[in-house]
Structure 1
């Protein structure tokens, strides 16, 4: 499977350069669409292992939103944002491959960005090892997932039909409510913030992409590196990212506001746990976006380049079948649940794999920013590292994209351990912690892809 995706990454880059749609020198175009993905019935909610019953109503709608961009040469990108905790590998592969088959947009040119709201439904097998729920509830999850795949693919087609000439521009803003949760006790945060003594690395950048037509602001795509965990109740909600999108759309009527999550795996919105705080953080993020929109944004021209590959990330060790059988008897229901999940994988695949096919994707938006797109729950160290190495003001780094299979710790966090570095692997059903080569393996691939897309998006200068 790893080799299949390596070939896809190379082939799709070639397809990008040959262009889809052949509209040479026609200028950039953009099209959008939205889909309400709020479950129509009560079902199990994702995000927290302590949940003990299905959903109870709705605070806000959940949305899937699509933006298709087409460059001067006709190459297209499909950006899909989802008010969900995350997608599993099978679900994201189904969506991206069907988009390629039906609309000719290569797999490398489609990215699925989950907001990581913890008040959305369970999807596919994402975090499946964490939940002990009925067969009836799993059937609802399967039905929801099948409908999601079908409907998101269809919305990409609607966005293509909506393509029209547009001016694309970008800029960066700032929002400061994200706090490093590994270095600051939640109860201490208000006082530490007041004293200017919050500790630990953070990324407070707010990347913004604006799509304008002659008539209006058509779409705004923005990101932030912070967990969507203000709310923990049983009502459907987009959490602060949902409220931020609402705030942007209210401030700019007719606009399609779309959120993507940065490397916020170790970042929390603090304090939290009230609707008022979720609304306030969303409002503050929306205001940061509006300030960028009202300022001097950089126009984007030139050609899109995209590449995508799955790289093997090794586990530190694998349990034996006997160890798994013994662990199924554990009084810790999460340990026992993981053991049962892994035994199922063992039977299906005649053993466990020593590595996971981790998705790394890179886009160069013409002469605009380099966008590094990573799967999993990525800690902030990666964002800070890649911005430092690839350009602090010209590099965007997304996490929670495509396949959200586990936390992705840096070497520092892996060695420190704790939830992000070790114990979270239980809830994701992974067999062990990652091996110590994880950060260097990802960084090497990101650098390789950055070199490729930068060269591909730069036109030779006329003599």
Structure 2
């Protein structure tokens, strides 16, 4: 019996060495990539405020549902979760609650979870009492919709983890230059350059189409459509994450809830890939690039007037077609290294001076139907609502690496020239920037743009130190350099 048992054991060891096990001195096979994707419906009940315009409008009709679209990647060493939410903006404390739920259930570290908002202007707000002193409490309570949204974001990440399967990735870029326009214009002198605070700007946001006072745009555009594609080893698409620097499109009737062109892109790309079936688990997502000063309106004129929703359909179809075209000839990889970096940066808030406080009191004392400027009362209320805020604001910056593709993030509406600088100076072969990520802190102009004035620079639209863009850009470039150095030293893929 002992001889028979010994012979059986010897056979097992020989078979293991020759067919399945690693012989002495051999390395075990490198881990292959896995990926999973899922969507969560985050459409709120009717009646909540849509805050995409100057004044809140109650939601009365849902044209198309809002979603949190989720992708999870696993390289065998760790996981990375990316979520794109159909929302004007999601505050940091709501994002952090969602991440805490996801961490509890999946173990993915919070610094490896990226949550960004698309910035659709036709979604019920997740911002809460944005201009009240409650905003500045250490741990503000979540309102019912914020609680629902955070839970559904976490649910989407959990479901994407449950869908993990062997996968391959590819990345690339195209361009759609004819749908992006810088919305800030140098103008001839005139009353159109007055601001709510009694001063005069040098540029105007969204001047009248065909205005004889137009001089030239105040900044560039970024026409690039960047994308990360994920498919199963059977060739079936799992997800596509794209990035385009266009604020939103609009053309939505009053009171309508819509994901704007971001949602149309997701549906259109699914159709192009043959994944528009009821049983498909494919997820397409479009994140907002650096579009703080970019829109879809050519103020020089010539654009046709279109019915509601038609323009966003046209824009999304072009962007989806560009991604689809780019997917055809890409090299696919089933081994890539994932890496992430996160830093919390402390910024100074722009001070609400005694002079500004006096201006706000005087503005609000005037009859509501006789303001000195059409936006005077709005900004006076914002100045008053910001009273009691601490002098600093902590913001989260992230950088993520997926092979030779890098993603940088800001919790702001970032100007195009900032994103272009990061693309020009990145150490990676390809990098794109996601705005309104891990928070929603208003506009982020450069110092040059601050000097020109205009809506995006007004206190109440922008809230942080004037050189914040430079400080954060340099920080992110340093984070990207660190990720690149780590990859080089480790011989990562």
- Higher alpha-carbon deviation: 452-461 or 211-220: 452-461
1:207 to 1:353, Cα distance in 2 relative to 1, 3 A: same
Deviations 1:195-245 (A, max 9, x none): xx9774111111111111115111111010011142353211111111111
Cα distance in structure 1, aligned partners of 2:85 and 2:160:
15
Match in the other structure for 1:187? 209
Does residue 372 of the first structure (1) align with residue 408 of the second (2)? yes
Q: Which has the larger radius of gyration?
A: 2
Q: How does 1:235-254 map to 2 (within 5 A)?
A: 235-252=256-273, 253=275, 254=280
Cα distance in structure 2, aligned partners of 1:311 and 1:301:
33
1:383 to 1:126, Cα distance in 2 relative to 1, 3 A: farther
Of the three residues 286, 289, 302, the one matched with 1:262 is 289
Q: Is the 8 A contact 1:170 1:300 kept in 2?
A: no
1:24 to 1:264, Cα distance in 2 relative to 1, 3 A: farther
Match in the other structure for 1:89? 92
Does the residue aligned with 1:41 lie in a helix, a strand or coil?
coil
What is the TM-score with the length of structure 2 in the denominator? 0.76
Q: Displacement of 1:322 after TM fit? A: 9.7
Q: Is the 8 A contact 1:129 1:427 kept in 2?
A: no
Does the residue aligned with 1:426 lie in a helix, a strand or coil?
coil
Q: Displacement of 1:330 after TM fit? A: 4.6
Cα distance in structure 2, aligned partners of 1:230 and 1:393:
34
What is the TM-score with the length of structure 1 in the denominator? 0.81
Does the residue aligned with 1:166 lie in a helix, a strand or coil?
strand
Does residue 293 of the first structure (1) align with residue 327 of the second (2)? yes
Does the residue aligned with 1:108 lie in a helix, a strand or coil?
helix
Q: Is the 8 A contact 2:356 2:383 kept in 1?
A: no
More helix by share: 1
Q: Displacement of 1:323 after TM fit? A: 2.7
Of the three residues 44, 52, 60, the one matched with 1:56 is 60
1:198 to 1:338, Cα distance in 2 relative to 1, 3 A: closer
Of the three residues 428, 434, 437, the one matched with 1:401 is 437
Does the residue aligned with 1:92 lie in a helix, a strand or coil?
helix
Q: Displacement of 1:391 after TM fit? A: 5.2
Q: Displacement of 1:311 after TM fit? A: 0.7
Cα distance in structure 2, aligned partners of 1:129 and 1:228:
26
Q: Displacement of 1:457 after TM fit? A: 3.1
Q: Is the 8 A contact 1:59 1:235 kept in 2?
A: yes
1:116 to 1:129, Cα distance in 2 relative to 1, 3 A: farther
Cα distance in structure 2, aligned partners of 1:457 and 1:124:
38
1:397 to 1:337, Cα distance in 2 relative to 1, 3 A: same
- Higher alpha-carbon deviation: 53-62 or 205-214: 53-62
- Higher alpha-carbon deviation: 218-227 or 32-41: 32-41
Cα distance in structure 2, aligned partners of 1:457 and 1:399:
25
1:339 to 1:257, Cα distance in 2 relative to 1, 3 A: same
Deviations 1:281-309 (A, max 9, x none): 11111111111112324647332111111
Q: Is the 8 A contact 1:84 1:117 kept in 2?
A: yes
Of the three residues 25, 30, 33, the one matched with 1:28 is 33
1:215 to 1:126, Cα distance in 2 relative to 1, 3 A: farther
Q: Displacement of 1:327 after TM fit? A: 6.2
Match in the other structure for 1:361? 398
In the alignment, structure 2 segments of 5+ residues that lack a partner are 1-27, 134-140, 186-205, 298-302, 367-375
Match in the other structure for 2:475? 445
Q: Is the 8 A contact 1:169 1:300 kept in 2?
A: no
Cα distance in structure 1, aligned partners of 2:68 and 2:208:
31
Cα distance in structure 2, aligned partners of 1:409 and 1:353:
22
Match in the other structure for 1:117? 120
Cα distance in structure 2, aligned partners of 1:90 and 1:258:
23
Q: How does 1:91-106 map to 2 (within 5 A)?
A: 91-106=94-109
1:188 to 1:300, Cα distance in 2 relative to 1, 3 A: farther
- Higher alpha-carbon deviation: 78-87 or 55-64: 55-64
- Higher alpha-carbon deviation: 271-280 or 81-90: 271-280
Q: Displacement of 1:444 after TM fit? A: 2.1
Of the three residues 382, 386, 391, the one matched with 1:338 is 382
Q: Is the 8 A contact 2:31 2:335 kept in 1?
A: no
Deviations 1:18-46 (A, max 9, x none): xxxxx983211001111111123232112
Cα distance in structure 2, aligned partners of 1:59 and 1:28:
37
Q: Is the 8 A contact 1:327 1:339 kept in 2?
A: no
Cα distance in structure 2, aligned partners of 1:289 and 1:103:
31
Does the residue aligned with 2:61 lie in a helix, a strand or coil?
coil
Q: Displacement of 1:90 after TM fit? A: 1.1
Q: Displacement of 1:396 after TM fit? A: 1.1
Match in the other structure for 1:309? 343
In the alignment, structure 1 segments of 5+ residues that lack a partner are 1-22, 131-138, 347-351
Q: Displacement of 1:393 after TM fit? A: 5.0
Q: Displacement of 1:95 after TM fit? A: 1.4
Does residue 220 of the first structure (1) align with residue 240 of the second (2)? yes
